[in-house]
Each structure stands twice: as structure tokens, then as C-alpha cells.
Structure 1
């Protein structure tokens, strides 16, 4: 349902426009009427209509001033002018300030319906873009955690590879270029907050603080990569770098063996010649989580993937994910995802898996 307000000081015009909308576009609903631009602005603030149909010449505030004010205040309502004045100057002013159409009175139904069809297509496209934006914003938040982990390990090359992979994924899925710029800027801010929290100081990229308006996407990527260099330099200066290298080696050891149910903190610590207690402290400092939290995270992610294979029994999945105690496995999964492995698999079958 798309909402409409009609702005005109002639009751007959408001009535006839409402009738035209109701006859062929029932999914457009007139939610308010205004006598002039001033009343219309109040309605716009309160109702946030999808479409404003307005006259030009009205008392208090005319249509041109209304269009300018709506644009200045940042409302995203579509605006169509309906006027009895067939003057180029009026149409030029209206269209220049954001009106999407200019129709002359008396209204010709075929032209009015053509206009509504155009508005409907624009609104549907806008809604689709908003949904796409939300989905990608969530992905950027997820990616930011990986970037923070890499940066905290001073793994700049992996940051650059991941940044390129993000861009290639968006390009492959034909994401709108303006949206790509906004997403990369959001990604920068997500990473900045996370890494600054770990470093205890804020390190910014001055070129990106003002927003993406004057940047091409390639420039934004270059700025972020240069900023990554600054971050990794500060990370190396602020940390015991020898221990950090060992922790990164330990993580690779864990990734190779996390499905082994006998893998322990002591085994991992010994692999990098560190005492278990010291390794435990350094690991938490490096990754912001304990060894067991990290190991559980890997095993749970593996479990989610294995549950997609309907040929596997859940007890078999437990073993493949690194658990030889099935009750402990199901208890851990339920604590982690707020549902049992069987419930998760049922949701998979019905294509109703939540974002977890």
C-alpha cells in the first residue's frame, strides 16, 4: 500500500483526483488533504506519504515552495504537480526541485494513470533497493568482524584480499554503484569502531570521514587499504609481536584439527612452544575470546554446514564436528543457536532458517 496526500484549495479537484486513484489504483490510498503548502508540510511531517500531488498557486505556501522545503528537509516523498497554468517557467521550477511530473488541469485520466504507473514503478524499485541495502549492511557487519580479526593480527594482505572479495561479490550480484559506495563507507566505520576499541585509540581515514560523495569506488578501496597499513603498523607497535605471530600459527593449527575431539588447549600451546596459561592469556588478548569459545565457534559453524546434508544422522554430524559426547553436542548447539540440531534441520527443509 502506497500513501498519498492531495494539496489543492479546490474541493472538486481533491474529490476528482481521489476518485481517479480509487478506480484503477486501489493500492494507492489517499491519507490526507491540505489547502495549501503549509498544511501539506505538516501532513508530510506526520504521515510521511509516498506521493504528494500538489497545485502550484495556493495561499500561505505555494507548490514550488512546498517542493523546495520537502527536498531541503530530506523527505523521500515523490511529488507530482497538477496545475491550471501552462507556463514553462512553473514546470521548469517544479521539475528542477524534485517533482517527477507536471500535469495540466483539467486532468486527462490517461495521463494521470500513466503518471501513477511511473510513480508505482519508482516506489517498488525504491523499496527493493532498501531491502537489498539492509541485507548487504548485515553482510558488511559480518565482514567487519573478519577484518578486525585480521587487522589485530597485522595480517594486512588478508585484509586486502577480503576487501577485493567483497567488491567482486557486490559486482557479481550487480549491486547499485551508489549503494556499493555507501556499503564500503559503512564497512569502514564498523571496522574503525572495533579496531579502535582494541587499540584504545581512534585511528581514522581522513579521506573517508566526510562520506563517499566525491569518491569513486576504486578510490574508496585505495583509501581503505592505505588505512589498513596505518592500522597494522600501530598494532605491531602496541603488541608483543613475537607472541602475536605464535598465536596466529596456533590458530592455523586449530583450524586444521578442530574436528578432533581430543584437541585441547595444552596440545595447541605445545605446538607453538608456549605454556598453556600464557597461551590462554595471549590468545584472548589477540582474538577477544577464549580458546574454548573460538573452538566452539568453529565446530558450530561446521555443524551448520553438515546439517545441510540430509544423508547424515545428527549423531554422525556430532562426530564429524569434533564431539564424541552426543548429549554435550546437542546441549552446546542449543545454547549457541537457541534451537536443537533437529529443529534447525527442519527449518532448513522448509527454507525458513533465520540469520544465525
Structure 2
């Protein structure tokens, strides 16, 4: 199991890593980060099954980290860790859909039991199963890229856990779901801009799965270096 630990206090982070290393399920891979921006970058390459994060951090707090990580599809399971035993934090943690809420100092037995539970909930798969799941997932995206797709939707459709899909996707494509899906949509948009000269850019953006023309143009320029209109003009 891949575990990411996030805390902005170096000594506390070092202590947390030591405890988790001692109590985590056998074979666990543990990584750490000092703040939310560093954690988000780490997630993109590490793809943790669960992230243990402090709430109070500079720049971005733990809840902002959770929202961004889920939006990017780079981690779905979180354990909130804080020294503040206040109901508002508990309530916000529950609303964020975290696995659990733990108070500092960390109770070794409590975190051991929690990590064991998380590990048991993660699906195990052989290499052949892994390849089959990857083929199904990529085929589904190819046929349904124009729909409103999310990690939860794919998990429900494939009958797999969201964390497993994230890990599978990263291993198979070297990219996150969001980046892969956007790149796929932009490739299809390029084809339509060439073959449907009378369709508006707005209409094409909807055909490939973007809600607004503005966001479509922004993503299109990110992946192609030009705007949809300029791209179409250059095809003449």
C-alpha cells in the first residue's frame, strides 16, 4: 500500500513517518511532503492509496489539499490528522469524505488498525487482471470521452475502487485521468475542427465533452499551443 504523509513541521513529520513505517501493513511504500503544493506534486508521481495530512498548513490547508487531489484524480482516500479537537473540524472532515479523523499525538494502535482496514479495502489484482482492467478502462474512455466522466463514475462503471483506478491509470499511461482525458478530447476536437468547417467552436467543444467554450479554449491552447479558431484557420 502506498501511503503519503503531509505535515509542515519537520520534526513532527519525521516522527509520523517513523510511526507509520513501524505499524503500516507489510510491504507498504511510504512517502512524505512538507506542505500541500509539495504533496500534490508528490501525488502525481507516487499515486498514494491513502494520504495522512495535517489540517493547519501554510499556503493551502488540508481540506484544500483534499479538494485539489480529488479534482486531479491523484488520491481519493485521506486521513485527517490535527492537534485541534474541535467539532467544526470533525464535521468538515466528514463532509470531505475522509477515511477518519485522528488527533495528535498519534495513537499507534489506532493508526495501525486504520491502515490495516484501508489496506483490506483495496482490491488486489494479478498481472492478467491488471491488464484486462486497463484495456476495459481505456476502451471505455475512447468510446465515452464526450460524457461527464469522473473517477467515481469510472469506479462505479468498472466495479473497481477509485484508488485502484488512479494507480492503474498512472501505471498504464504515465499520466493522470484528467490529463489523459483532456488530451483525448483535444485530439478529437482537432479532427472535428478539420472535418466540420460549418460547426461553431462552441458546438465542437460540447461534442467532445467540455461544458463551456471558454474552458475548452483554455485546455485546447494548453495542449496545442494555439486557439481552436487559429488552429482551424491554419488547416485551410
Give me the TM-score of the superposition, normalised by structure 1. 0.36
| Distance in 2, Cα, partners of 1:53 & 1:136 | 28
Match in the other structure for 2:33: 34
What is the CA–CA distance in structure 2 between the aligned matches of 1:72 and 1:103, rounded to whole Å? 24
Q: Equivalent residue for 2:13?
A: 14
Helix, strand or coil at the partner of 1:86: coil
Alpha-carbon distance in 2 for matches of 1:91, 1:131: 41
Given that 1:133 and 1:179 are in contact with CA atoms closer than 8 Å, whether structure 2 keeps it comes out as no
User: 1:67/1:131 Cα in 2 relative to 1: closer, same or farther (>3 Å)?
Assistant: farther
- Distance in 1 separating the partners of 2:133 and 2:101: 36
- CA 1:83 to 1:40, structure 2 compared with 1: closer, same or farther past 3 Å? same
Shift in Å, 1:210? 11
Mapping of 1:262-301 within 5 angstroms?
A: none
Shift of 1:92: 2.2
> SS of 1:121's equivalent?
helix
Which has the greater radius of gyration?
1
> Displacement, 1:82?
0.8
Q: Could you tell me how far apart the structure 1 residues matched to 2:134 and 2:10 are?
A: 45
Q: Which residues in structure 2 correspond to 1:1-150 (within 5 Å)?
A: 2-25=1-24, 26-31=26-31, 33-123=32-122, 126-128=123-125, 132=129, 135=132
Question: Using the alignment, how far apart are the partners of 1:64 and 1:136 within structure 2?
Answer: 31
d(CA) in 2 for partners of 1:70, 1:46: 13
Corresponding residue SS for 2:51: strand
- Secondary structure of the residue that 1:58 maps to in structure 2? coil
CA distance in 2, matches of 1:5, 1:19: 13
**Which protein has greater RCO, CA pairs closer than 8 Å, 6+ apart?**
2
In the alignment, the residues of structure 2 paired with residue 131 and residue 97 of structure 1 have an alpha-carbon distance, to the nearest angstrom, of 35
Cα deviation code 1:24-70 (max 9, x no counterpart): 33422222x22221221111123222221100011011001001111
* 1:220-241 alpha-carbon deviations (Å, 9 max, x no partner): xxxxxxxxxxxxxxxxxxxxxx
Matches within 5 A, 1:316-331: none
Note if contact 1:51-1:78 (Cα within 8 Å) is conserved in structure 2.
yes
Q: What is the alpha-carbon distance in structure 1 between the residues aligned to residue 133 and residue 108 of structure 2?
A: 40
Range that drifts further, 55-64 or 78-87: 78-87
**Structure 2 residues without counterparts, runs of 5 or longer:** 137-154, 160-206, 210-236
SS in 1 for 2:116: helix
Q: CA RMSD in A?
A: 3.3
Higher mean C-alpha displacement, 49-58 vs 59-68: 49-58
- For residues 59 and 73 of structure 1, what CA distance do their matches in structure 2 show? 21
Q: CA deviation at 1:12?
A: 2.6
Q: How many residues align?
A: 145
Give the whole-Å Cα distance in 2 for the aligned partners of 1:43 and 1:137.
23
Counterparts in 2 of 1:120 and 1:86: CA distance versus 1, 3 Å: same
Asked whether the equivalents of residues 43 and 75 of structure 2 are also in contact (C-alpha less than 8 Å), the reply is no
Q: Is the 8 A contact 1:78 1:99 kept in 2?
A: yes
Query: What is the CA-CA distance between 1:131 and the residue it aligns to?
Result: 6.7
**For residues 179 and 61 of structure 1, do their structure 2 counterparts lie closer, same or farther at Cα, with a shift above 3 Å needed?**
same
Is the Cα–Cα contact under 8 Å of residues 78 and 99 in structure 2 kept in the other structure?
A: yes
Residues 101-136 of structure 1: per-residue CA shift (max 9 Å, x gap): 11011111111111111111122xx34499757547
Indicate the structure with greater helix content.
1
Answer whether contact 1:55 1:63 (CA < 8 A) is retained: yes
1:177–1:129: structure 2 CA closer, same or farther, 3 Å change rule? farther
1:143-184 CA-to-partner distances (Å, cap 9, x unmatched) read xxxxxxxxxxxxxxxxxxxxxxxxxxxxxxxxx97437xxxx
